[in-house]
Amino acid sequence: MTGHPLDAIPPELPVYPLHDQVIFPHMSFPLFIGKEHMGLVEEALRNNRLLVVLTVLAIDPITGREQFARVGTICRINQVLRFPEGGCKIILEGVNRVRLITTLQVTPFAMASVSLIPERENRNSVAQALMQSIIALLRVAQSLGQMLPEDAHHAIDRIDESGKLADSLAVYLNMEVKDQQRLLETLDPLERLKDVYLFLTTEIQKMQARGGGSADRSRQAVRSQKEHLLREQLKHIQNQLGEEDPHQADIRQFRSIVQSDEMPEVVRSVAEKELARLERINPSSPEYTVARSYVEYLCNMPWQRGTSDILDIDRAQQTLDDDHYDLVEVKERILEFLAVHSLKSSLKGPILCFVGPPGVGKTSLGRSIARSLGRKFIRISLGGMKDEAEIRGHRRTYIGAMPGRIIQEICRAGANNPVFMLDEVDKIGQDFRGDPAAALLEVLDPEQNYSFTDHYLDVPFDLSHVMFITTANVMDTVPPPLRDRMEVLRLPGYSDEEKLQIAFKYLIPKQVSENGLDKHPLQFEEQAVLKIIKNYTREAGVRSIDRQIASVCRKVAKAVAQGKDAPEVIRSDQVEKMLGPRKYFSDVAAEEDRVGVVTGLAWTESGGDIIFVEVSTMAGRKDLTLTGSLGNVMQESAKTALSYVRAHHADFGIDAQVFENLDIHLHVPSGAIPKDGPSAGVTIATALISQLTRRPARRNVAMTGELTLTGRILPIGGVKEKVLAARRAGVTTVLLPERNRENLKELDDHILAEMTVLLVDNLSEVVAHTLIPDTEHGPRLFDCPQHLAVDPPSGS
């Protein structure tokens, strides 16, 4: 027979007085009844087997009567086991709480009239949280030492009613009788649970104080249970006030995104799982923050959201022309690219790579493309990027994990089809943390990038709508597999005339407006701008010019703002006043011709530049010393040049003996740092001949070309950049390999008209154009090797 709530009870019931114990509903327990109390049992058996158990709180010192608690438990006798000598053992089961109304008799046993107290149940979130916390605390207690018998844990785990749990624990936890009685009298199950919870935490603290290896861990566990409870209470209060818990609101918002059509199916299932996890985690734990940012990324990624393209080629042309001067071929290629795209929606095909020195408009071209297509523009620099994770993200198991830059930026842009510029592909690095170039390949490869999986996101994102454009200063350091996928568009740099045009058409109007001078009609004289270009900048692009013009505009703006007399036209003679003393002088025009110093044209980080190759000789034993910014290939060029000059000494009028008694030192001063390459071969050989023949080299003649051991002059790259650099430095004659004849087309007519560009086929031609003939310069000195121990004064 099992105990269940009663609908009605007899008006009078026998009372069993219990000392030092409290009986709770649902509890089963044995009682031994002496002969003298058998009347009580018989009475109960007559009353539906029911009796009331009341705890005796005290004995009245005057009457000697037992004083009963006002709340007790009505119990049913489930079993009676009579003893032959009289008396019996009964098994009682608590059925319901009752309130004592009045005691009707006291002898031979007490009879009382009682009323049933209906059991309440509380299932609100606070009660649920309390129940969970209590179960968790019991586990903590168990880890610290035995608090409950083993089988009690199983029984308790199965209880899902708040009041019943509190009652059962009151029995199992060995509480004092007064505490148990208080629990019996507490009718709100939530309050009862709180009581048990407090009792438990106090007990655990006592156990922790007694020490034990796991005490620290258990403290942490108790603390987190406490937080969990407080939060539930807060949530409950907010619910009652009609407010929403911010975390819940957050999750609700995420859920509405997850359930919208925004997400592909595979992402949705991951997001849903993650959301369910988020709901279970304590919001003040670090784990919550990590899980939340992941869900946030999943929800914010523009999985299928993009901007609509404006595929109007005329408009694109207009935009490119509005933003950039000249660059005709580059613009043409861009327009072709866009035209193909307008006819064929997918963007498969080579990735455009703009190559050129700094400040020639690579980035701003990318921005114009985005503007003309009506797409978002993103730019990241790959310069110095060594860690693959910067592209592909960290796995979420890392502390502080983040998506890679590609996914971060696309998420920020909020569109899956931006124009994405990857700057400085030539500076991408590699070390033990992986190979970012390999990760980049996956990003750029149309065969793979439709399912690009960032380590952090861990679900594929379709990058095939993104228009990637790369930029580089030079192509030779771009990893070959990347180079293969790119179509190179060169932006070689501008001549002074072109810079002048750019300054007048673009930079000045832009700076005038940016510096708030729209209402002050500031103009520049052409000579003033030319002076800025020649004396204050030395670059292939126009970035410094832009900066200098900005500086002039700021000064005028300051005068205007102060109400002072501000100039309306910037004249050439005002430039010094505004920008200070000139910064650059023509490198070669100011120098005199010297023996053993030859002007070369090299390829540097900032495009073309001039270098000086210096050779010095001293008495010694055929040693060749190489110093300066020489890479391996340049060192080999130096050795090749020396071998060639030695082998053909007679052609240049050098005595063979000279090589036996000399040490040669070759140096390239570090003004511009040349990229390692063979194009200095001709310059080095000419410098050697100049030194060994004591014929000074013309400073204003500059050369470039690779020299082979057999004396052929091989073509070189970057002709336009190098010629422009030569012109900037004041060089008047440039010697180029005959095999670069085709590249002369790159040079504008006004450059060819202003400079002498000669094509040479062998070293003798170079020598003839560069070294000043003996007749102009007195006797040769190499016949007397002893003189060479000390260099004669320059120009001698």
Ligand X SMILES: Nc1ncnc2c1ncn2[C@@H]1O[C@H](COP(=O)(O)OP(=O)(O)OP(=O)(O)O)[C@@H](O)[C@H]1O
Closest by Cα among 280, 278, 282, 361 to 322? 361
Joined tokens for residue 466: 């993104």
Span of 36-44, 45-53, 541-549, 771-779 interacting with ligand X by CB under 6 A: 541-549
Q: Is 360 annotated as a binding residue?
A: yes
Please, which of residues 345-364 interact with ligand X by CB under 6 A?
A: 358-364
Q: Choose, from 235, 331, 555, 722, the residue flagged as catalytic.
A: 722
- Decide if residue 326 touches ligand X (CB under 6 A): yes
Q: Which residues pair with 112 in a beta bridge?
A: 13, 103
732 labelled binding-site residue? no
Give the range of 258-266, 535-543, 619-627, 778-786 binding ligand X by CB under 6 A.
535-543
- Within 544-563, the residues that bind ligand X by CB under 6 A are 546
Give the range of 292-300, 319-327, 516-524, 774-782 binding ligand X by CB under 6 A.
319-327
Residue 294 binding ligand X, by CB under 6 A: no
Task: Based on the shown chain and the rule CB under 6 A, indicate whether residue 380 belongs to the binding site for ligand X.
Answer: no
Q: How many residues does the chain have?
A: 796
Q: Tell me which of 162, 629, 679, 690 is the catalytic residue.
A: 679
Nearest to 759 by CA among 717, 699, 703, 718: 703
Query: For residue 673, which of 587, 588, 598, 604 has the smallest C-alpha distance?
Result: 604
- Annotated binding residue 356: yes
Work out which of 271, 327, 378, 610 binds ligand X, going by CB under 6 A: 327
With a CB cutoff of 8 Å and minimum separation 6, the contacts of 437 are 428, 430, 479, 481, 482
Phi then psi for residue 96, to 5 deg, are -155, 155
Question: Is 167 or 546 the residue whose CB approaches ligand X more closely?
Answer: 546
Task: Provide DSSP, 628-683.
Answer: ES--HHHHHHHHHHHHHHHHTGGGGT--GGGGGGEEEEEEE-SSS-BPSSGGGHHH
Nearer to ligand X, 500 or 781 (CB): 500
* Catalytic residue flag (residue 722): yes
Which of residues 16, 109, 461, 506 is near ligand X by CB under 6 A?
Answer: 506
Q: Tell whether 264 is in a known binding site.
A: no
Among the candidate windows 177-185, 402-410, 542-550, 725-733, which touches ligand X by CB under 6 A?
Answer: 542-550
Instruction: Indicate whether 513 belongs to the interface with ligand X (CB under 6 A).
Output: no
How crowded is residue 272: how many other Cβ atoms within 10 Å of its Cβ? 17
Q: Shortest distance, CB of residue 430 to ligand X, whole angstroms?
A: 21
Q: Which is nearer to ligand X, 449 or 471 (CB)?
A: 471
In the residue annotation, 194 being an active-site residue is answered as no
Q: Which of residues 416-435 bind ligand X (CB under 6 A)?
A: 423
| Total of residues contacting ligand X (CB under 6 A) | 19
User: Residues 65, 153, 333, 543: which binds ligand X (CB under 6 A)?
Assistant: 543
Provide, rounded to whole angstroms, the least separation between the CB of residue 361 and ligand X.
Answer: 3
Residue 64 annotated as binding site:
no
Looking at beta carbons, which pairs linking 198-201 to residues 24 or more positions away fall under 8 Å? 199/173, 199/175, 200/134, 200/137, 200/138, 200/141, 200/169, 200/173, 201/137, 201/226
The number of CA neighbours under 13 Å toward the Cβ of 404 is 23
- Is 502 among the residues that bind ligand X (CB under 6 A)? yes
- Residue from 325, 603, 612, 652 that binds ligand X (CB under 6 A)? 325
Residue among 57, 50, 37 nearest 77 (CA): 50
Long-range contacts, 408-411 (Cβ 8 Å, 24+): 409/378, 409/380, 410/301, 410/302, 410/378, 410/461, 410/463, 410/466, 411/297, 411/300, 411/301, 411/302
- β-sheet bridge partners, residue 736: 759
Q: Is 72 within any annotated ligand binding site?
A: no
SS3 for 267-307 is: HHHHHHHHHHHHHHCCCCCHHHHHHHHHHHHHHHCCCCCCC
**Under the criterion CB under 6 A, does residue 769 sit at the interface with ligand X?**
no
Comparing every residue's Cβ against ligand X, the nearest one is: 361
Annotated binding residue at 509? no
Residue 186 is assigned to a ligand binding site: no
Looking at the Cβ atoms of 135 and 550, the one nearer to ligand X is 550
| Residues catalogued as catalytic | 679, 722
Binding residues for ATP: 356-363
Q: Which residues bind ligand X (CB under 6 A)?
A: 324-327, 358-364, 423, 471, 502, 506, 541-543, 546
